A and B are shown apart, each in its own frame.
Chain A
Amino acid sequence: MKSDKKIKVIISKVGLDGHDRGAKVIASLLKEAGMEVVYLGMYQMPEHIIQAAIDEDADVIGVSYLSGEHLTFTQKITEEMQKKGLEHVLFIAGGVIPPEDIPTLKDMGVAEVFMAGTLTQPIVDYIQQQARK
């Protein structure tokens, strides 16, 4: 059996945010870049995302925000990640996020924020360089 290392990514929406097109686009994009993407869809809570990341042994968690709740939920997700020992997992955020909130998100533990309008290749490149495998 040849060594077959793949980057595994969880892509999710969180809370009562029903705009899933961006998340689906990113999930397909990462699939096309050769990654294995577990798509969790809408209405997830931070605990759901964390449990999925543990079971799936994910290398990356990507959360898409279009509801303006990014600060609240990011805080919760990074707390859970610490509690469950997921410090090695790369946490990235995307969507409609005001630029002035980005430093706060990074302080909380988000590795990178990709705002609406980001080209696709930089996202793929970033994950391939920064993810564990």
Chain B
Amino acid sequence: MAKIPENELARQVMKGDRGAGARLITLLEEGNESAREVMKSLYPHTGKSMIVGITGGTGTGKSTLIDLLIHDFRQSGKRVGVVVVDPSSPFSGGAFLGDRLRMQRHACDEGVFIRSMASRGYLGGLARTTAETIRVMEAMGADVVLLETIGSGQDEVEVIRVAQTCILVIAPNMGDDIQALKAGLMEIGHIYVINKSDLEGSIQALREVEAVLSMKTYPDKAWKPRVLSTVATEGKGIRELVSAIQEHNVFINQGARADRFRFERVEYELSLVFKNELERLVHEGLKGTGKKKKYIRKICDGQSDPYTIIAEVLKNFLKKGSFDPEK
């Protein structure tokens, strides 16, 4: 997008202008200060979309499933935003973002906005700005936001902080029932999908997941996870998956549940904003002073340690209300 004055951005994003939305997401990724001003005016217009997280191991078929979900939601006239996260290189900082190419069925559809994000070193299966990107899509008018995490292993569970409905995608032959019993990723699904269920081993995978879930105890009126089989490349099982998503959506909007989710989502976002802001202030305060290098040197030389340094930096910061490394 060509340069847009910042005060114009918010208005254009809310009109659903994709170029403006895309630009704002970049500014957020860059940690641009004006992006925060834009977010202030957008924020009250967000929080109403249905957010569905799709997580699971590398190559289990998450992106291909999303392609089908986009199609289904479009058939029922919903506007769809999609955020897909792939890892950044720990060496070069670059990234190969290869999820979008599986979602080209609606490549020219005005009702679909897809954004690929590199994780940029952020852990937890998302990027640092994923939660904000979802807010931007909500402000752009998305009825549904689909969020694909990094291909996850065992502990990339942050998706449950931002998505109301969480789908865990599993492919057959990824390990025995001991893997399914572990804490972390295997616990977070509202819907479990055994994709590639035309492959050998898929019935066993289905039984193992069902068995493990049946060992859990559920409080009264709690959601009992659904387990489904799909073949994404052939579109098999997608209707059932969409029904399960809708069922869960009805469930979470009953009683106090919707409010509890909103609270938890804001709690997550707030702690991120705190962390980011503090880091930014410290970083900006240190920039160009050479202090950071001196701190590192001091620690390396055994004259200090990270805890003493951070206590010093924070004490100074909190007292002054602004960061001044010279004092």
Q: Which residues of A contact B (CB under 8 A)?
A: 1-6, 8, 27-28, 30-41, 44-45, 47-48, 51-52, 54-57, 84-85, 87-88
A41 touching B29 in the complex, CB below 8 Å, given contacts A1-B128, A2-B280, A57-B1: no
Asked if B178 CB lies within 8 Å of chain A CBs, one says no
The 10 A-B residue pairs whose C-beta atoms are closest, nearest first, are A1-B31, A31-B94, A57-B22, A48-B107, A41-B101, A1-B276, A1-B280, A57-B26, A34-B94, A38-B97
Interface string of B2-24 (1 = CB under 8 A from A): 10000000000000001100110
Complex alpha-carbon distance, A35 and B19, angstroms: 21
Complex alpha-carbon distance, A5 and B118, angstroms: 12
Asked if B32 CB lies within 8 Å of chain A CBs, one says yes
Interface string of B98-132 (1 = CB under 8 A from A): 10110010011000011110101000000010000
**Contact call B94/A37, Cβ cutoff below 8 A:** yes
Q: Which residues of B contact A (CB under 8 A)?
A: 1-2, 18-19, 22-23, 25-26, 29-32, 88-89, 91-98, 100-101, 104, 107-108, 113-116, 118, 120, 128, 276-277, 279-280, 283
Distance between B318 CB and nearest chain A CB, rounded to angstroms: 19
Complex alpha-carbon distance, A19 and B145, angstroms: 34
**Contact call B1/A54, Cβ cutoff below 8 A:** yes
**Contact call B95/A51, Cβ cutoff below 8 A:** no
**Contact call B92/A6, Cβ cutoff below 8 A:** no
Name the one of A27, A34, A48, A55 contacting B96, with C-beta atoms under 8 angstroms.
A27
B26: nearest chain-A partner, CB-CB? A57
A4 touching B120 in the complex, CB below 8 Å, given contacts A39-B96, A48-B108, A54-B18: yes
Complex alpha-carbon distance, A31 and B91, angstroms: 10
Q: Show 17 residue pairs from A and B whose CB-CB distance is below 8 angstroms, ordered by the A residue.
A: A1-B283, A2-B279, A4-B120, A6-B94, A8-B26, A36-B94, A37-B96, A40-B100, A40-B104, A48-B104, A51-B107, A52-B100, A54-B22, A55-B18, A55-B113, A57-B23, A85-B19
Distance between A4 CB and nearest chain B CB, rounded to angstroms: 6
**Contact call A39/B94, Cβ cutoff below 8 A:** no
Complex alpha-carbon distance, A31 and B116, angstroms: 14
Distance between A72 CB and nearest chain B CB, rounded to angstroms: 19
Distance between A131 CB and nearest chain B CB, rounded to angstroms: 13
B21: nearest chain-A partner, CB-CB? A55
Complex alpha-carbon distance, A8 and B277, angstroms: 25
**Contact call B94/A3, Cβ cutoff below 8 A:** no
**Set of chain B residues within 8 Å of A57, measured between Cβ atoms:** 1, 19, 22-23, 25-26
**Set of chain A residues within 8 Å of B1, measured between Cβ atoms:** 54, 57, 85
**Contact call B118/A56, Cβ cutoff below 8 A:** no
**Contact call B107/A39, Cβ cutoff below 8 A:** no
**Contact call A31/B96, Cβ cutoff below 8 A:** yes
Name the one of B29, B98, B100 contacting A4, with C-beta atoms under 8 angstroms.
B29
**Contact call B22/A56, Cβ cutoff below 8 A:** yes
Complex alpha-carbon distance, A3 and B18, angstroms: 23
